[in-house]
Chains A and B, each alone.
With several copies, the nearest count.
Chain A
Amino acid sequence: MSTSPAGAEASGQAATHAPGGRALSAPLLGRHEEPTIFELSEPGRSSWQLRTTGVPEWRVDELVPEGHRRPEPVPLAEVSERDLVAHFTRLSHRQFSVDLGAYPLGSCTMKYNPKICDTVAALPGLAGVHPAAPAEMCQGWLALLVELEEALCAVTGMAAVTFQPAAGAAGELTGLLLMRAYHDTRDEQRRRVVIPDSAHGTNPASVSLGGYEVTTVPSDSRGCVDMDALRSVLDHDVAGIMLTNPNTLGLFEEDIEEIAEAVHDVGGLLYYDGANLNAILGVVRPGDMGFDIVHLNLHKTFATPHGGGGPGAGPVAVSRRLADFLPGPRPVRLVNGAQGAAAANGSGGGARYGWATPAHSIGRVHSWHGNALVLARALTYIRVHGGDGLRRVAERAVLNANWLRVRLAATYDVPFDRTCMHEVVLAASTLKRRHGVRALDVAKRLLEEGFHAPTVYFPLVVDEALMVEPTETESLQTLEALAEAFERIAAEAATDGGADSAHAAPRTTPVGRLDEARAARVLVPTFDARPVETGHDATGA
């Protein structure tokens, strides 16, 4: 049957009276559009049920002074609970996720998210606690955070951690402000921060917000920081350098010791972007490499789910000399000895944990204490794995990436074909030159093959980049199937009609390729928006 809008209109429903019980948008049954909740809405229908309180029922004009009152209630959707459930359940069937299959999205570490963490995050004793409750009333939370801080220090080789940053980028900016505070107290006005050309976009963006200028150093032929180029830009105007190691090409920066020495020599600090930590868990620690500031992406390395784009958690770990600048207040152990578990027996005796603000704290970077429930998930993950398990995680992640690299080297370009870490950057340059099949086409075809696409066109230094991060939770059988899919796509591209087929992909998904240019040109940011001409195409890459 038709899956065109005509087909949808064929339902004969006026736009504002779509039938909540019709399931044609569920891929199980069809490929139709799912009506918006506003189209499912019918005045007078409702789902809400609130507790019986017995509170006097004053009218709004008895409560809110003239001039402050809202003339009309906020127009939201009015749907039955049944339609609410059908709507969002169908939407969930239109969404790919780790739970459905492999998600080899480079730089994102889409590993399996253990279900036990959902259970922990739902514990009323954790989820039901108000962030401003007195410390005596949340000893469990404080014990949890202190335990996690100690674990993250062990993993990174650093001295102290702040949990306030809500994601990696927030961690970066926090780290740069720590860098600035450090130099300030030493009365040094430094204006530049060095980052490699392969860096993730949040790095330069954070540098600007930190009030610094970006100095970019090129990668050398080995895909690592070009030492000569680096030395040439290092001077006392450099506040520090931001690196991720392994870098975004999935390669370990072998010269890390020289880099650290060179940067420290000019009085700069080393910032470690922890997005790629998964590769080196239990193998080597940023602190031992000479880094002064480290942010971690718990939503990558420590398996907390990405929630379709967030929430994450980007705690920042620092060396002793920077600890006094950390945001506050911070959870601290009041009397030593008592481990979290002990404290957890709780009530009895005075508080064992409390809050403290470092002497030269840069101040708050979050409304409260950071993404607490994400932190609880991460500690759960760490406890299940332990030191030994985390090392196995890194080994298997790197093993998987290298297996794919070697297997696919015959079919795809591998710009830097040597032992990689947790991810491998392939390229479709040859496919594109020979057959006009671009990285984007390969990505879309992979969807038809039953896999999520890798990250494409990043890092920017690689032409037609296909950045593949299988993660350690995918099996050899899955890697083989993924490799065969890649190979099938390349082989098909070489056949005639092959390129057209690739350009037409994906054909099995609820929607095909989208008109992204139109989305930006005729901006429709809400259901109420009338088309707005925004002039030129602004979709970017």
Chain B
Amino acid sequence: MADYLPHTEEDVAAMLAFLGLADLDELFAAVPQALRLAGGLELAPGEPEPDVLDHMGALARANRAGDLVCFAGAGAYDHEIPPVVRALAGRSEFVTAYTPYQPEVAQGVLQAVFEYQTMVARLAGLPVANASLYDGASALVEAVNLGTAASGRQAVWVSAGVHPHWRRCLRTFARGSGHEIVEIPLADGVTAWPGDADSAAGDGPGAIVVAYPNYLGCLEDLAAVRRMADARAATMVVAADPVAAGILQSAGSVGADVVVGEGQPFGTALSFGGPYLGLFCCTMAQVRRLPGRLVGETVDVEGRRAYVTTLRAREQDIRREKATSNVCTNQTLMAVTAAVQLGWLGTRGLEEVALRCARGTRYLRDAALGIDGISPVTGNTPVVRELALRTAVPARTVVDRMTSEGFLAGVALSDLVGGDGDRSVDADAAEHGLLVAVTERRTLAEMNGYLVALDKAVRP
């Protein structure tokens, strides 16, 4: 009988007596007899912790992906996470606290989030960052909600260069919000925006969404998007990669109204996709439409600097159906983790990571394109962060073959865009496209081993 309950037999008896009840069942008198669960839950009986650890350990060992050298990215990256970051972010005070409803005893989390907001805002080149959203996709959905609310128009132009899963989420939630999602195709890896002529037709977009770099690693022309947005009084939303931002111009500096991103690269493990971290930044003009929590600085009764969640009137618990968003629990621990990781990296470290990723990508690209059976998906468009290769055999086959060589070769585009194709790549690339990511952790030796295996894997 393994559990964490402190009640002794005597405790239970004494408490029931105090309540004047005969047994525990009487506590549930309000539950209609007919509904009560007879015979208990259909679940195995409890097991002691060591048995459970054995089981979970066996499941973990069954994930052979964990042993592969990772060249997969597509929004989830294998970056260095040093012991010091794990140790600090793992402190139980951060892990087992609730949302800071009593700021006097929550300055630890509040200040860490305030520092996180500052770092993320600097990264995006915007003045405001919130305390986190669920992940990149949910941050984008919220950005579109904000953007359309700000412009008052429901149509949304979304570059097909935005991560396919994020676009899928936009379509899902549009069924509730009523947004009209218009996907703009790519040509050679960059968005082919409609000329003024085309778009004059019909209601202009309330928001325009572009990714920087986009999910194929290509660098879009943000200034052009800004001009388009100005011309149409639309909100400019940029989904920016936060690591590449270490060497790329900030979207804010080019005039983005909202910048969102996936914060996983900042200290969070691959984790089979979650929990991750939704980054969200906006201009001061939009702060009252900000989704989620915001930590602000203030003072206490003695004038000491202190932190508190602020502009609460936007939130669901106060504004209810009029709230800017329904988000309550967010990803605070990942935000704290990001603050620690960015504190560890610092000004030079982040730049160095971004640079090393770009160098690795460059090295692998040059060498891979030398292999016959390999060609680029995005022509000669400059890429950072990701690399889309066209492989002679279906990309999925390449991935499968390379697992036996000890490599997670990348992500087959077919797994991202689905069989029915997508506006980001042509039908052939949708089947033969392999998306590869190289982080600062990949060594030259690993890449050379990868190239040998790739050479074999692409043979018919």
Contacts and interface: CB of A to CB of B under 8 A. Distances in A.
* A–B: direct contact at CB < 8 Å: yes
Interface in B92-123: 92-109, 111-115, 117-119, 121-123
Contact of B273 (A36, A299, A369): A369
A113 interface: yes
A49 B329 contact: no
B326 A444 contact: no
A526 B117 contact: yes
A282 B41 contact: yes
Contact of A70 (B88, B173, B246): B246
Contact of B93 (A95, A119, A340): A95
B137 A364 contact: yes
A207 B326 CA distance: 9
A63 B301 CA distance: 53
A108 B5 CA distance: 18
B47 interface: yes
A77 interface: yes
A385 B346 contact: no
B143 interface: no
Interface in B299-345: 299-306, 308, 310-313, 315-323, 325-334, 336, 339-340, 342-345
Contact of B356 (A46, A50, A288, A419): A50
A80 B4 contact: yes
The CB with the most chain B CB atoms within 10 A, among A97, A251, A372, is that of A97
A43 interface: yes
A85 B363 CA distance: 36
Contact of A514 (B61, B114, B299): B299
B298 to A, nearest CB: 4
A324 B144 CA distance: 28
B95 A529 contact: no
Given A364-B172, A398-B27, A82 B6 contact: yes
Interface stretch (A162-170, A229-237, A426-434, A486-494): A162-170
B390 interface: no
Interface in A453-511: 453, 455, 458, 472-476, 506, 509-511
**Secondary structure of the A side of the interface?**
loop
B34 interface: yes
Contacts of A396: 5, 7, 12
Nearest to B119: A76
Contacts of B328: 167-169, 201-202
A513 B300 CA distance: 5
B12 A134 contact: no
12 contacts: A84-B340, A123-B56, A123-B57, A206-B326, A308-B336, A309-B333, A341-B55, A345-B62, A383-B46, A386-B47, A444-B104, A526-B128
A137 B384 contact: no
Contacts of A68: 219, 248-249, 382
B132 interface: yes
Nearest to B443: A53
Given A82-B4, A84-B344, A515-B299, A130 B329 contact: no
Contact of A4 (B101, B165, B303): B303
Nearest to B445: A54
A194 interface: no
A96 B78 CA distance: 32
B115 A37 contact: yes
A540 interface: yes
B333 A308 contact: yes
Contacts of B107: 34, 91, 94-95, 510-511
Contacts of A34: 107, 111
Contacts of A46: 346, 348-349
A64 B248 contact: yes
A47 B344 contact: yes
Contact of A33 (B98, B269, B305, B308): B305
B272 A141 contact: yes
Contacts of B50: 49-52
B134 interface: yes
Given A95-B108, A134-B399, A390-B41, 17 more contacts: A5-B303, A37-B343, A48-B345, A49-B2, A69-B249, A95-B107, A105-B101, A114-B83, A155-B41, A208-B326, A310-B331, A372-B275, A384-B2, A476-B7, A506-B104, A506-B105, A519-B308
Contact of B117 (A77, A114, A525): A525
Interface residues of A, number: 234
A282 B350 contact: no
Given A132-B411, A138-B65, A51 B136 contact: no
Interface stretch (B69-77, B184-192, B228-236): B69-77
Contacts of A336: none
Interface string A40-83: 01111111111111111110101111011111011111111111
B440 A167 contact: no
Contacts of B311: 520, 523, 534, 538-539
B18 A406 contact: yes
A383 B248 CA distance: 35
Interface stretch (B193-201, B289-297, B371-379, B424-432): B289-297
B24 A309 contact: no
B183 interface: no
Given A140-B62, A368-B272, A371-B275, A512 B347 contact: no
A85 B84 contact: yes
A251 to B, nearest CB: 7
A88 B294 CA distance: 20
B90 A132 contact: no
Given A76-B122, A120-B53, A56 B29 contact: no
B369 interface: no
The CB with the most chain B CB atoms within 10 A, among A29, A31, A53, A447, is that of A53
A443 interface: yes
A204 B321 contact: yes
B202 interface: no
A77 B297 CA distance: 18
